[in-house]
Amino acid sequence: MEITIDRDKCIGSGACVLASPEVFDQDEDGIVVVLDESPGSAEHASVLEAVRACPARVIEVE
């Protein structure tokens, strides 16, 4: 799994951090920071949840 994000679109909701705290974090402005761009399979379900929970569709996975 490879994660790409469009940081310009992020509205700092934190929904991704709540869904998948091992993979996503926020900077001081609340904008998403990816901690692990190719997370192991243990995180796949939580990352997919973050993708769907994000109100701004910032996160993409391949």
Q: Is 62 in the site for another protein (CB under 8 A)?
A: no
Rounded to 5°, the CA angle 17-23-25 comes to 45
Which residues within the stretch 1-60 sit at the binding site for ligand SF4 (CB under 6 A)?
10-16, 32, 54-56, 58-59
59 binding partner (options ligand SF4, another protein, none; Cβ < 5 to 8 Å by kind): ligand SF4
Q: Is 27 in the site for another protein (CB under 8 A)?
A: yes
58 binding partner (options another protein, ligand SF4, none; Cβ < 5 to 8 Å by kind): ligand SF4
Q: Are 18 and 39 in contact (CB under 8 A)?
A: no
Neighbours of 37 (CB within 10 A): 11
